[in-house]
Structure 1
Amino acid sequence: MCINIAIGREAAAENRILVSRNEDCGRNHWSRYVAYRSEPEYASGRVVRDGMWTLGNGLRVAVPKTRFAYSAMPSAAAPGETPRHLHEGRGINENNVAVSTTGTLQINALANAIDPLLAEGGIDGSIIPTLILPQALTARHGVELLGTYLQKHGAGEARGVIVADPFEAWYLENGSAHHWIAVRIPADSYLVVANGLRIHGIDLYGPDVLHSAGLFEFVAEYRLLERPDRRRFDFAQAFGVPETSHGLDRIWLAQKYLTPSLQQGPRQPQYPLFLKPDGELCVTDVMAVLRAACQWMELEGRPPRPGAPRRTAESHIICLNAKMPTELQGLIWQAIGTPLGAPYLPLYHALQEIPHELGMNAPPQEGNSAYRAFGELFSLAGSAGPGALAALQAVWQEQERELVFQQRHLESMLLSMYHQSPQNAVAFAQHYSTGSILQLVEKAHRERHRLLNGRPDGTDDA
């Protein structure tokens, strides 16, 4: 049960695009690691034959002409598995185009019967960043590429995808194998998605809307809507199913936090697609929502449902800042595992030499991997009682406040450095990311030692 939040430039502090996601899993998972792809997968002859590129899920497409470098966060292979099926999740390419795949979406039986999802070899979330990031010039171009692939090859699952660059963000979702729609998120607004189709009330003639060819005619012919309206088109109702209570709770909670002036009841059938926040939003606001638990008065008496359960594989907040030089426009605040027990690490997209603690060669369950350091500490704090877990979360949030404060001043320094030496400025940003990772992994080890040798609330013995 994932949640995504995307924020337009004018809605965010200091005019930067924010794209975030909690990647939640319904079962235990293997960790993710950080990677930098100086060349895309199809640069290797191992996966190319007769001009066709075979991706990890079996999809075959013509080899693209472009080869943009990109950063990503693939899944680590479980024992006995091959890392071939990359499932990269999120990433940014050298043009500062970011892709964040949302959770799988549910579609209705009628839509799926008419244009059924492919059993194998179609477009699915596991290959979308791998497919789009090496090619996209801009966010809109990335959406157009993905839409073209969907119409030509078909989808293996219903999926939402956020594609952004430093100037705009788009949200695309498909409701069948070949039909899709994408909307540009207004600059002064934000979007929240939680495992259900969300696009509704859209003008299909609008300049900020893209969609599959023949979408309206398909909906009208097969009566997916009783009275389809091109000017207020409801893609979610045509192709989707009613939101789960868990998904509705997450949307309501996020909108309540980001726009508290708007009075909305919990578990309404449909919430606004775009909303303006009550004030400029910053990265710490997004961190708070991604960690939030549903404990509002209207939901009292129901079990708490955290925005980030224990089985969260990773959580990220991608910041795209057009005011920075090209190489420094992308910054990813990355939590390894659940943000309930791990801090958000500031990783510049320019980070090409990945520290061992975040790399593929750090086994998730062994050695000094960040995944193990944060995961073991979280489990230990949870078993030691609510006082220990609350103390741990306070430690990480204090660390994050320091890093966010430092980041504002660091950007000014990087700009000054870049005017004198772009190479040195980029190198400094890489060193900063590496140093932050090592500092917080070491902090996790110290906190673990303190819990093992101190009192249950995490404090040391006098």
Structure 2
Amino acid sequence: MPCTTILVGRKASYDGSTIIARNDDSGAGYFTPKKFTVVLPEKQPRHYRSVLSHVEVELPDHPMRYTATPNAIPGKGIWAAAGVNEANVAMTATETITSNERILGADPLVKLQPAEGTEGTPDFRPEVPGGIGEEDLVVLTLPYIHSAREGVARLGLLHETYGTYESNGIAIADVDEIWWFETVGGHHWIARRVPDDSYVTMPNQLGIDDFDLKDALGKQKNFMCSADMESFLEENHLDLSLDGRLNARDTFGSHSDADHCYNTPRAWYMQRFLNPRTCRWDGPDADFTPESDDIPWCRVPERKITVEDVKYILSSYYQGTPYNPYAKYGNPDMRGAYRFIGVNRNDFLGIFQLRPYAPKKLCAVEWIAFASNPFNVLIPQYTNIERTPDYLANTTGRVSTDNFYWASRLIGALADAHYGKCIQQIERYQEAAGARAHELIARFDREYKDAKKQAEENGDAVQASELRFAERANDAFADAARAETDAALREILLIAANNMQNQYARNDH
């Protein structure tokens, strides 16, 4: 199972933004090249058919424009993965999550059933389509929603209508709210609003713990769920609480041995980083260990959280712990004992920052990184656009440094193989690219405000120029990152080449 998610409420972030972020990872043993694109309304399908499950969905007219990070190589569907629409609503889908046998027995997943036998004969059984899944969710949801809450309602209806063939968690945010949606079996679902003063960590495991069923079936202030959830719980004897307060993780989730090496360690490290003094995280008297099942779904941080904090966390390989695979200290048997967050098969990282203080047309900044996160950098992009820079959009199956995906993949592979000699170059690369990105965002924010004020004073139409402004700014962001990436690749390639096994000089003997 791939992917790791962190959500940051607006009062927990450094600038009052809502922030949602997710690593999109391939399965073990392969990579899925990704690209950054924009889907225009005329390109959005009105009749959708899933490649994997063959489910068919009629879609509404008048979709909105939205950004997406689809697969660069066609064949397995769109997999739009994450994006922001023109109403400044962000969505990332999905985080694969866990469930248990009781839930999957009470409400089985809706899987494709291929046709059997020969058509026209008595034993023929026609194909039965499966439900919706990760391939489909952004395309079916994001173009039609104007708020995070509206997104939860649409997602819920889609799941109740078509079912799903997998267990997933989905984040949706607007400038005011973040909601986290989890599927529960084939047709049921729950959702919880992220507290404004808190952050949420999600490591491939059904995460919501405390759940107010009364609110979810009533005012829906902070919780939502399937309309029949109360009877579903009762009829199938699913609620495991002793005090009547539903713990969704106990009821709907898992606590397996696999969780303890693959999932819970990631939540442990993320919260250890953001709340180092709140709890004891290490040693025999630790409040929480990498294998704890009860690490809270959300927590108030010890300080406000930045974009750089989110990037560091989602790039983590457990620095400062015995589990760091590159460590020169501690017990060698513990290195790599737990699944890292920043792994070799990260395909992309999307951080979505919805800024309440920025002009509406520049409100959303989508920070994008490709390939293995410990060794890559983020490129910011405004999302009120109709095209994306070639450096982010022209990924194909051909390895080429003309695009950010493959350049990042090459840097990661070279730096990992020569970690001790390359890590300083990586750190310089990340700092330089990050500083330049923030510098350019501040500059273009100011230029936009000045240009719009002047246009309004002159009575000029501004809509088209706003799109062009954001696109020119995005080109500048990409050009700056490309310059830093090319320089880093040159330095890291030199280090790797000078440390090849066949190196030899006349003074070596």
| TM-score, with structure 1 as normaliser | 0.90
3-state DSSP of counterpart to 2:295 = coil
Establish whether residue 223 from structure 1 lines up as the match of residue 237 from structure 2. yes
| Alignment partner, residue 108 of structure 2 | 116
| Alignment partner, residue 431 of structure 1 | 472
| Alignment partner, residue 275 of structure 1 | 299
Tell me how far 1:136 sits from its aligned partner: 0.7
Unaligned runs of 5+ in 2: 113-129, 216-220, 280-286, 324-329, 456-461, 500-509
Tell me how far 1:227 sits from its aligned partner: 4.0
Tell me how far 1:456 sits from its aligned partner: 6.7
Tell me how far 1:228 sits from its aligned partner: 6.9
Structure whose CA Rg is larger: 2
Instruction: Go from structure 1 to structure 2 and tell me whether the alpha carbon gap of 1:112 and 1:41 turns closer, same or farther (over 3 Å shift).
Output: farther
| Alignment partner, residue 66 of structure 1 | 62
Deviations 1:396-434 (A, max 9, x none): 233213322443454344333333344545433322221
The CA distance in 2 between the partners of 1:130 and 1:281, in whole Å, is 30
Instruction: Go from structure 1 to structure 2 and tell me whether the alpha carbon gap of 1:455 and 1:307 turns closer, same or farther (over 3 Å shift).
Output: closer
3-state DSSP of counterpart to 2:293 = coil
Establish whether residue 153 from structure 1 lines up as the match of residue 162 from structure 2. yes
| Alignment partner, residue 30 of structure 1 | 32
| Alignment partner, residue 10 of structure 2 | 9
* Preserved CA contact (<8 Å) 1:324 1:415: no
| TM-score, with structure 2 as normaliser | 0.82
| Residue 263 of structure 2, aligned match among 238, 247, 252 | 247
3-state DSSP of counterpart to 1:134 = helix
| Alignment partner, residue 224 of structure 2 | 210
3-state DSSP of counterpart to 1:340 = helix
How is 1:366-445 mapped onto 2 (pairs within 5 angstroms)?
366=400, 368-421=402-455, 422-423=462-463, 424-445=465-486
The CA distance in 2 between the partners of 1:184 and 1:69, in whole Å, is 25
3-state DSSP of counterpart to 2:11 = helix
The CA distance in 1 between the partners of 2:478 and 2:367, in whole Å, is 11
| Alignment partner, residue 126 of structure 2 | none
3-state DSSP of counterpart to 1:14 = coil
| Alignment partner, residue 20 of structure 2 | 19
| Alignment partner, residue 261 of structure 1 | 277
The CA distance in 1 between the partners of 2:316 and 2:419, in whole Å, is 19
The CA distance in 2 between the partners of 1:341 and 1:399, in whole Å, is 12
Instruction: Go from structure 1 to structure 2 and tell me whether the alpha carbon gap of 1:443 and 1:116 turns closer, same or farther (over 3 Å shift).
Output: same
The code of the aligned residue for 1:445 comes to: D
The CA distance in 1 between the partners of 2:492 and 2:252, in whole Å, is 50
* Preserved CA contact (<8 Å) 1:8 1:185: yes
* Preserved CA contact (<8 Å) 1:203 1:209: yes
Establish whether residue 54 from structure 1 lines up as the match of residue 49 from structure 2. yes
Tell me how far 1:440 sits from its aligned partner: 2.1
| Alignment partner, residue 356 of structure 1 | 390
The CA distance in 2 between the partners of 1:211 and 1:359, in whole Å, is 37
The CA distance in 1 between the partners of 2:111 and 2:45, in whole Å, is 28
The code of the aligned residue for 1:285 comes to: D
| Alignment partner, residue 365 of structure 1 | 399
Unaligned runs of 5+ in 1: none
Tell me how far 1:326 sits from its aligned partner: 2.4
Establish whether residue 93 from structure 1 lines up as the match of residue 127 from structure 2. no
The CA distance in 1 between the partners of 2:191 and 2:495, in whole Å, is 53
* Preserved CA contact (<8 Å) 1:388 1:457: no
3-state DSSP of counterpart to 2:486 = helix
* Preserved CA contact (<8 Å) 2:444 2:473: no
Tell me how far 1:382 sits from its aligned partner: 2.6
Tell me how far 1:29 sits from its aligned partner: 1.8
Instruction: Go from structure 1 to structure 2 and tell me whether the alpha carbon gap of 1:428 and 1:176 turns closer, same or farther (over 3 Å shift).
Output: same
| Alignment partner, residue 326 of structure 1 | 360
3-state DSSP of counterpart to 1:420 = helix
Instruction: Go from structure 1 to structure 2 and tell me whether the alpha carbon gap of 1:71 and 1:372 turns closer, same or farther (over 3 Å shift).
Output: same
| Alignment partner, residue 311 of structure 2 | 287
Deviations 1:183-215 (A, max 9, x none): 111111111101001112121223211100221
Establish whether residue 106 from structure 1 lines up as the match of residue 98 from structure 2. yes
| Alignment partner, residue 342 of structure 1 | 376
Q: Out of 208-217 and 161-170, give the one that drifted further.
A: 208-217
3-state DSSP of counterpart to 1:13 = coil
> RMSD value over aligned CA atoms?
2.3
Instruction: Go from structure 1 to structure 2 and tell me whether the alpha carbon gap of 1:294 and 1:210 turns closer, same or farther (over 3 Å shift).
Output: same
The code of the aligned residue for 1:181 comes to: I
The CA distance in 2 between the partners of 1:290 and 1:40, in whole Å, is 35
Count of aligned pairs between the two proteins: 446
3-state DSSP of counterpart to 2:176 = coil
Instruction: Go from structure 1 to structure 2 and tell me whether the alpha carbon gap of 1:5 and 1:453 turns closer, same or farther (over 3 Å shift).
Output: closer
Instruction: Go from structure 1 to structure 2 and tell me whether the alpha carbon gap of 1:347 and 1:205 turns closer, same or farther (over 3 Å shift).
Output: same
The CA distance in 1 between the partners of 2:96 and 2:494, in whole Å, is 43
Tell me how far 1:7 sits from its aligned partner: 0.6
The code of the aligned residue for 2:491 comes to: R
Instruction: Go from structure 1 to structure 2 and tell me whether the alpha carbon gap of 1:430 and 1:225 turns closer, same or farther (over 3 Å shift).
Output: same
The percent of aligned pairs where both chains have the same amino acid is 23
